């Protein structure tokens, strides 16, 4: 059982995320965890245990949500995708308490809010096994020192030929614009404005718009 990701124009508002997760009972005997499939993100994403996620995603979603994603990714890796876990045991193992389940619900709510997980019906949760590069709108909210470190990270990927680095940068920018709801021509105009060659901009735009639920014009 898997779930296919839908494109998110922007992170879901916290209150909406809480309502989306309200149908789950933290006292339920079993939580079923399945992968949230998104080929576009999986091609360029980072594992929850990666240094990238610890440096740049953790300040956005918080330590509890980051630790939760790591634990769920480990479970999916060990179980070949789908696995089941007792919510009370999961919460206790993460230091989130085992009483009302409020701590676990808050951590899951943050994952849902930022498109890293979503309810999959009943007591089931679809979770990303790989996280996309941090969207620009979230990057700009990081401390200036981390923003500078992120720029250095992208500019200095060791062993990456210049052509591959430009291709990756173009695709990341196009993906971010597609998530904001921009159409093909608008994405290509933005990329050209940012110094991306027109042919590379067109390729990156086609790639970004091939995401499930976001067909190319």
CA–CA distance, 90 with 32 (Å, rounded to integer): 12
DSSP states along 35-49: EEE-HHHHHH-B-TT
pLDDT of amino acid 147: 94
Largest CA distance in the chain: 56
Q: What is the DSSP letter of 55?
A: I
pLDDT of amino acid 32: 92
pLDDT of amino acid 175: 83
Of all helices (H) and strands (E), which one includes residue 187?
Answer: helix 184-193
Degrees to nearest 5, angle at CA 134 with 80 and 155? 110
CA–CA distance, 79 with 68 (Å, rounded to integer): 16
pTM of this structure = 0.65
Domain boundaries, the chain: 3-127, 156-209
What's the helix, strand, coil split of the chain in %, to 5? 55, 10, 35
pLDDT of amino acid 212: 53
Which residues, in sequence order, are CB contacts of 39 under 8 Å at separation 6+? 211, 212
pLDDT of amino acid 10: 41
CA–CA distance, 54 with 186 (Å, rounded to integer): 33
pLDDT of amino acid 189: 86
Full 3-state SS string of 95-120: CCCCCCCHHHHHHHHHHHHCCCEEEC
Among residues 32, 24, 26, the alpha carbon closest in space to that of 2 is found at 32
Among residues 154, 56, 155, 162, the alpha carbon closest in space to that of 114 is found at 56
- Lookup: tokens for 146: 């981390």
* pLDDT tens digit at each of 217 positions of the chain: 555 544 333 444 444 444 445 455 566 788 899 999 887 787 778 888 888 999 999 999 999 999 999 999 888 887 778 899 998 889 999 998 766 678 888 899 999 999 999 988 778 899 998 898 999 899 999 999 999 999 888 876 655 556 676 787 788 888 878 877 888 998 988 888 777 788 888 999 998 888 654 434 3
Tell me if residue 34 falls in helix, strand or coil.
strand
């Amino acid at each position: 059982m898997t779930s296919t990701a839908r494109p998110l124009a922007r992170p879901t508002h916290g209150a909406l995320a809480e309502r989306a997760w309200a149908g789950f009972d933290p006292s339920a005997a079993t939580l079923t965890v399945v992968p949230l499939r998104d080929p576009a993100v999986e091609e360029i994403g980072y594992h929850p245990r990666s240094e990238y996620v610890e440096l740049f995603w953790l300040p956005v979603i918080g330590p509890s949500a980051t630790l939760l994603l790591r634990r769920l990714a480990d479970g999916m890796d060990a179980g070949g995708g789908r696995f089941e876990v007792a919510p009370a045991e999961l919460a206790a193992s993460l230091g989130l308490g085992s009483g009302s389940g409020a701590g676990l619900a808050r951590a899951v709510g943050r994952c849902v809010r930022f498109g890293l997980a979503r309810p999959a019906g009943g007591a089931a949760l679809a979770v990303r096994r790989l996280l996309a590069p941090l969207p620009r709108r979230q990057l700009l909210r990081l401390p200036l020192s981390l923003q500078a470190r992120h720029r250095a990270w992208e500019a200095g990927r060791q062993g990456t030929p210049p052509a591959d680095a430009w291709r990756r940068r173009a695709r990341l920018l196009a993906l971010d614009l597609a998530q904001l709801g921009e159409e093909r021509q608008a994405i290509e105009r933005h990329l050209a404005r940012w110094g991306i060659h027109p042919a590379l901009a067109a390729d990156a735009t086609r790639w970004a718009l091939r995401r499930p639920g976001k067909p190319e014009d």
